[in-house]
Amino acid sequence: HKPTTFQASTCFPPPRSTPSAAGARRLAVAVRAVAGGVRSAAAMRARFLPLLARQWQHRASGSSGARRGCCGRHQCGETRRGLAAAAAAARWWHVGRRGFVASVEAGAKGEMESTMKEIRGGGAPCVLDMDDAATVGGGVEDTYGEDRATEEQLVTPWTVSVASGYNLLRDPRYNKGLAFTEKERETHYLRGLLPPAVTSQELQERKIMHNIRQYQLPLQRYMAMMDLQEGNERLFYKLLIDNVEELLPIVYTPTVGEACQKYGSIFSRPQGLYISLKEKGKILEVLKNWPERSIQVIVVTDGERILGLGDLGCQGMGIPVGKLSLYTALGGVRPSACLPITLDVGTNNEELLNDEFYIGLRQRRVTGQEYADFLHEFMAAVKQNYGEKVLIQFEDFANHNAFDLLARYGTTHLVFNDDIQGTASVVLAGLVAALKLVGGTLAEHTYLFLGAGEAGTGIAELIALEMSRQTKTPIDECRKKIWLVDSKGLIVSTRKESLQHFKKPWAHEHEHVGNLLDAVNAIKPTVLIGTSGKGQTFTQEVVEAISSFNEMPIILALSNPTSQAECTAEQAYTWSKGSSSVCNWKPI
């Protein structure tokens, strides 16, 4: 990947001198040539074996004259370099860059394999013979050998693994701290680099949880968790999985909102990939700087609409990082397969632009064609570098971009917008569950939304789709049961010409209504849903009004962080005199 990958003592055999920087660069180019576009170990074998067969043919031919007769001296040299690159690339693809063992050898691949078999025992499999479907810990495929990287392995004189010694303790993927056993400390050159005590991961977990609980402020707990993630990844996820109810609000909402607001002040080590307008025209090169080769999920934001907090620019990185932590802890996706990305196109937040600790571009946001071209280059580069099967999740884009991006790339890339689609699926599930208590079907209820942005229109659309599926009614008819209120009042047909395109399907025939309370009295909904991002907008008058004509109204106050929720559960139950059947907001 880079010349610096090839360490000082990686020559084979030992008597040869250390490769020069130029030689390392040539090998890096050869690795790219052999490994470029390869997406599996099987494909690597298919590309590697023909080169190996040619080399065996050269070795069997004997003298240099015979080799020249076979294909010419220069071509033999090229084949030898290709073989070395293929061997290196094959190992690269199995253990990832950090666990890469560089075997730099000018044509003795067969010799190296026979030597290794003698050392390890004839029955030990070669890395190229590894089973692609090997599983670790009950089912997650260990395709790239991450869980084998720190197992007991023989260290040969001609190879140096990056996952050893001091570097191992600084690598969060492999570091186990005091949990390294005596044998592991001996094998991986850790003697003297750790205190003599050996502790279990369970004891480490108890200690970290004890320390985290000592902090009074959620932001302090957040910073402690991020430090742990950067130092001991496995312990971080063990902690999160075993204490999910306690730590989920710390790692993600609502605490991540405060963390994003203060990201510049608390920033110590970079997480994820930052792609700014400075990299325009070179985005593919930037993606290649990321050390992991096999990415399955990308969560990307441009920071324009972070939670209910508005434009936080480059400091929105906390959202992709937190979201992908949940992908791993709750969804079982390997951390190495996740890539958080922030696209820095500037910010319109004057407070951030004047903040000396702000970590992003100090300029106003670009819009229009320049923004579209930048996003298009990013999407094309992702597909070229990681393939068409990588999932790209758009997170916290402003609604005027979110809908356009989903529509534009929905047919060419594997894309998903959590604010439009993810939130909608959760709310629909909540409604279906609530109907078991309230009674009736989705089509028998009337819905009123406060907020007509990504979340509001996304939820409304999914409700209408499910209603249409259940009743076999055209979706346009189902939409008439759903009403939306935005900053200008009830969305009605007389406003259609001035509405954004994603609001137009919800413009129904009705006289103009200027505020939520009047809309509740006019529409008489049975379900009230808040996605406005404005706190305390479900006032006592609003809750009392909806309760006056519903025995059990359904109230969902969804805006986050908690300070921006339309009401609290206590308020809803108190003002409705205990009659509201559901009151839910995102932290719950």
| DSSP codes joined into one string, 468-492 | HHHHT--HHHHHTTEEEEETTEE-B
3-class secondary structure, 140:
strand
Which of the residues 174, 222, 252, 274 is marked catalytic?
252
pLDDT value for 51: 55
User: Could you tell me the strand order of the sheet in which 297-301 lies?
Assistant: 273-276, 338-344, 297-301, 391-394, 414-417
- DSSP letter at 73 equals H
Nearest-angstrom CA–CA distance, 52 and 42: 15
Residues 138-194 have pLDDT tens digits of 334 444 444 444 444 444 443 444 568 898 999 998 999 999 999 999 999 999 999
CB neighbours of 69 closer than 8 A, spacing ≥ 6? 61
List, in sequence order, every residue forming a beta bridge with 344; answer none if it has no partner.
Answer: 276
> Cis (ω within 30 of 0) for the bond into 19?
no
For the whole model, what pTM was predicted?
Answer: 0.68
3-class secondary structure, 458:
helix
* Contact between 332 and 291 (Cβ < 8 Å): no
- Kindly give the confidence (pLDDT) of every residue in the chain, 588 residues in length, as a single tens digit, with 9 standing for 90 and above: 333 333 333 333 333 344 455 555 555 555 555 555 555 555 655 655 555 555 545 444 444 443 444 444 444 554 555 555 555 555 544 444 444 333 333 333 444 444 444 444 445 444 334 444 433 333 344 444 444 444 444 444 434 445 688 989 999 989 999 999 999 999 999 999 999 999 999 999 999 999 999 999 999 999 999 999 999 999 999 999 999 999 999 999 889 999 999 999 999 889 999 999 999 999 999 999 999 989 999 999 999 998 878 999 999 999 999 999 999 999 999 999 999 999 999 999 999 999 999 999 999 999 999 999 999 999 999 999 999 999 999 999 998 899 999 999 999 999 999 888 999 999 999 999 999 989 999 999 999 999 998 889 999 999 999 999 999 999 999 999 999 999 999 999 999 989 998 999 999 999 999 999 999 999 999 999 999 988 899 999 999 999 999 989 999 999 877 778 899 888 998 998 876 655 554 443
Domains of the chain: 160-197 (no CATH), 200-249 (no CATH), 252-417 (3.40.50.10380), 422-584 (3.40.50.720)
Which of the residues 144, 174, 222, 323 is marked catalytic?
323
Task: Judge whether 323 counts as a catalytic residue.
Answer: yes
* Contact between 131 and 143 (Cβ < 8 Å): no
Task: Judge whether 215 counts as a catalytic residue.
Answer: no
CA dist 29 to 23, 104, 161, 337, 382, Å?
10, 13, 20, 24, 21
The 10 Å Cβ neighbour count of residue 153 is 15
Instruction: State which amino acid sits at residue 401.
Output: N
Nearest residue to 47 via CA among 15, 4, 92, 2: 92
Instruction: Report the C-alpha dihedral over residues 66, 69, 71, 73, rounded to 10 degrees.
Output: 70
At 394, which helix (H) or strand (E)? strand 391-394
Residues 421-431 have pLDDT tens digits of 999 999 999 99
CA dist 497 to 250, 280, 493, 503, 505, Å?
43, 36, 8, 11, 12
189: left (phi over 0), alpha (psi -120 to 50) or beta: left
